[in-house]
Chains A and B, each alone.
Chain A
Amino acid sequence: MRQMGWLFLAVLIGSLGWAQNPARGGTLQIAVDSSPAGLDPHVATAFATFVVIGNIYEGLTEIDEGLRVRPALAESWKVSPDGLTYTFKLRSGVTFHNGQAFDSKDVLATFNRVRDPKTGSPIASRFNLVKEVKANGPQEVTFELSQPFSPFLSELAGLSIVPAEYVAAGGDLQRRAVGTGPFQFKEWVPDTYILLERNPKYYRQGRPYLDALKFNIVPDAATRQVGVSSGTYHFLPNIDPSLAVTLKNAPGVKLYESQDLSYSLLGVNVTRKPFDNPKVREALNYAIDRKALVQAVYFGNGVPGGPLSPALKGWASPVSAFPCYNTNPQKARELLRQAGYPNGVDFTILTLGSVKTVVDAAQVLQAQLAPAGFRAKIEILELGKFVQEWRNSNFDVFASLNGGSADPDGYLFRTFSTGGSTNVFKYSDPKVDQLLNQGRTATSADTRRKIYAELQVKLACQGPISHLVYGTLFSAARDNVQGFKSVPTRSLLYLRDTWLAR
């Protein structure tokens, strides 16, 4: 009888199609909007680059769809009780795409390359707390930290391991990517496509299923939409919410979704009037109607959020923890009066023009803010101008879309600590600094949770950023694309498990 039960279950699962066997072969036609400027994983920060090289390179660790840290090139690791020493056992039998064997010298070479000021690597500052890296034989590496740094394992996922010999011999990583990942670089025809081929020696058994990934560069959104509708392309990674709505009911097309780490925001300069006054910043939050933004800008596909993305389950406080998230224009006016602005305030919102979501959000916000006495002028800027003003802190308020990080420290520390690398708001608060330092050095998860809960409440209402909405992250695919999983970090990690049904 028991066996009958199992049989029944097996038939049931089979008939639902869950047990369909992955098919090997085929080229996945992907359409992306822009061409990478270069492929160097330690210099590039653009999404256009990472969407491609994320399939070529791997780190010691990787971040999965639930934002958990998983082993990648490191098979396992041990952390000393004081949190200062990390010892990694490296995976054996791994080779780079150029045939060189992977071992501890590659980890050392990679780390030294990133830390070398001549490389100009933007990610170097993430590893400031590393004192020393040592190889104990070919299969083991030890990192000594100068103080405990809880997000370390998560940060290592972003450190792509490059082959030591290739780099030492002057190999050009900007034009040829050589990693250990499931796909290897084959061909780059500028403005046309980048072709990656299956890595036949990949260490995960039987993976990847696909023979090749072809990243077609298609700048026009309407063309990408028709391309996936007609079957010219199989896959559009990380699309705009407006495009997702259009494709939702397209025959033959399905949408993959997850909660995005990225969020839309208003950032204010706390050294300029009137936003130097915390009451004005609080008033700004009361004036914003985030639920209306979700409807008008994200077509309902998103959630209001605080300083941490709801994708960071267990870390992110619910918005009910932030009193200023209850839209109340009267309260906003009252706070403005208390701050000494009974007639309201005038300011300019510098708007990142290259992202449609941001431009839409700025316009809706302008209308929302007016009744509370915030009279905003919108200035839409081209990317270059925006970046320049942003970096020089030359703004009253800016509207933008920022990426988050898999560990709370990654985003919060660099943004809100005094002198933090992306603290263009010039925000400085001793209590916040203290909490941020406790958060990254505390080794117990429970202690960290308490610290970050306190920080979020403090930052949500009176911090330099009004966090607006965390959108749903959509990728569009043809019906026969199987096995893909969307990851909140926007990485295409699971293309290695993706296959094309016939």
Chain B
Amino acid sequence: MFAYTVRRLLDLVLVMFGVSVLVFLMIRLIPGDAVQIMLGANTEITPDRLEALREKLGLNKSLPLQYWDWLAGVARGDLGQSVWTGAPIRGEILARLPLTLELTALSLVLGVLLSIPVGILTAYWRNSTGEYVVRLVAIAGVTVPSFWLGTLFIYLSFKLWPGFPAIGYVPLAEDPTGHFSRLLFPILSLSLPLLAGLSRLLRSTLLDILNQDYIRTARAKGLAERVVMYKHALRNALIPLVTVIGIQAGYLFGGAIVVEQVFALPGMGRLIVGAINERNYPLVQGTILLVTAGFVFINLLVDLAYAYLDPRVEYA
């Protein structure tokens, strides 16, 4: 187990190196650099002044040199500076990360916690009218994208309760009530599609398992239905769920990018989108590197969680 963990951590380092090269090259392959974007179309600048700006921002160095400078900085824990304002990137990320973590964590917890009872109940009551209704809602939930759901929530809250503070951002320390009331709809927009997907998965896995021989045996030897369900069926059904939760956590982050846009929340998503639009190279590199690290790390946790949930899995 220990050796396995170490090997996976080494893999992680290798993956991160590959990502650093990829993200460095990809953002530079998009046409238009920071100077051109900033000046926009129809700007009266002479070519020599354009070059002067590039030089000022360090954009005219050779690519390997720029990469090396950046990598050396990252190794020292220095992610560099924002192209135009010169603000340290570490500070920019630290200012935004908590909100996005809060948003994704709360959405994940809400989605997962609700998906278990919904999954169990729909598996139990399969083919009843109530289950059809829940299923319909769930399918709708899987198909509807979170940004549309977000816009819908904003409109509905405005029509039904115009005074409700649904837009903008208030720091937790300033006003906890205002903070959470503004996060309510973003969290719902993110967790509802998650809830729908997870509960549908749990339902079908449970239905498979409930038809297995060992469940029949358990029932035949007179175990209470509650014990059959929780001890024998649910525990096994959780294994595919954990895998999917790991992947979904990554997608939640992607969803957060869009939801932050809709609700005007200053999280990592806005930071990344803004950085890409401005061709703020070091900022794009730093943020993407960090997000990838998070994604890879969560996958590691998922793999390790298997060992706990499924004793048949061995790590050599």
Contacts and interface: CB of A to CB of B under 8 A. Distances in A.
A222 B151 contact: yes
Contacts of B84: 37-38, 174
B266 A192 contact: yes
Contact of A44 (B38, B50, B52, B155): B38
Contacts of B262: 220, 222-223
A175 B46 contact: no
A191 B266 contact: yes
Contacts, number: 146
Interface in B102-142: none
Contacts of A38: 38, 84-85
A222 B152 CA distance: 10
A121 interface: yes
A124 B151 contact: no
A175 B86 contact: yes
Identify the interface centre among B42, B50, B92: most chain A CB within 10 Å of its CB: B42
Nearest to B267: A191
B204 interface: no
Nearest to A123: B44
B85 A174 contact: yes
A218 B32 contact: no
A117 interface: yes
Contact of B44 (A37, A126, A400): A126
Given A125-B45, A391-B36, A421-B45, A219 B158 contact: no
A341 B263 CA distance: 53
A19 interface: no
Contacts of B64: none
B53 interface: yes
A391 B109 CA distance: 50
A192 B170 CA distance: 10
A9 interface: no
A427 to B, nearest CB: 15
Interface residues of A, number: 54
A414 B44 contact: yes
Given A43-B53, A117-B52, A190-B92, A219 B264 contact: yes
Contacts of A422: 42-44
A220 B39 CA distance: 23
Contacts of B168: 216, 218, 232
Interface string B25-50: 00000111100111111111110111
Contacts of B261: 219-220
A382 B36 CA distance: 13
Please tell me the size bucket of the interface on B. 35 or more
Interface string B248-281: 0000000000000111101000110010011110
Interface string B82-105: 011111000010011000000000
Contacts of B49: 117, 120-122, 124
A120 B52 contact: yes
A190 B40 contact: no
Identify the interface centre among A118, A172, A384, A389: most chain B CB within 10 Å of its CB: A384
Interface string B275-297: 00111100000000000000000
A56 interface: no
A122 B43 contact: yes
A238 to B, nearest CB: 15
B264 A218 contact: yes
Contact of B158 (A192, A229, A383): A229
Contacts of A117: 48-49, 52
A37 B279 CA distance: 10
A383 B271 contact: no
A226 B163 CA distance: 12
B183 interface: no
Interface string A10-54: 000000000000000000000000010110000111100000000
B58 interface: no
Contacts of B274: 35, 191
A192 B274 CA distance: 12
B162 interface: yes
A71 interface: no
B233 interface: no
Contact of A120 (B53, B158, B263): B53
A230 B160 CA distance: 11
Interface string A369-394: 00000000000001111111111000
Contact of B167 (A122, A123, A227, A421): A227
Contacts of B279: 384
Given A120-B56, A384-B36, A223 B154 contact: yes
- Which A-B residue pairs are the 6 nearest by beta carbons? A384-B32, A120-B53, A421-B44, A38-B84, A122-B45, A385-B31
Given A46-B38, A384-B37, A385-B31, 15 more contacts: A118-B52, A123-B44, A124-B46, A124-B49, A172-B86, A190-B96, A191-B266, A219-B261, A220-B264, A230-B163, A232-B167, A352-B41, A387-B37, A400-B42, A421-B44
15 contacts: A46-B40, A117-B49, A174-B84, A189-B266, A190-B271, A191-B96, A218-B167, A218-B168, A220-B261, A222-B155, A232-B167, A384-B33, A400-B41, A421-B44, A421-B46
Interface of B: 30-33, 36-46, 48-50, 52-53, 56, 83-87, 92, 95-96, 151, 154-155, 158, 162-163, 165, 167-169, 261-264, 266, 270-271, 274, 277-280
Interface of A: 35, 37-38, 43-46, 117-126, 172, 174-175, 189-192, 216-220, 222-223, 226-227, 229-232, 352, 382-391, 400, 402-403, 414, 421-422
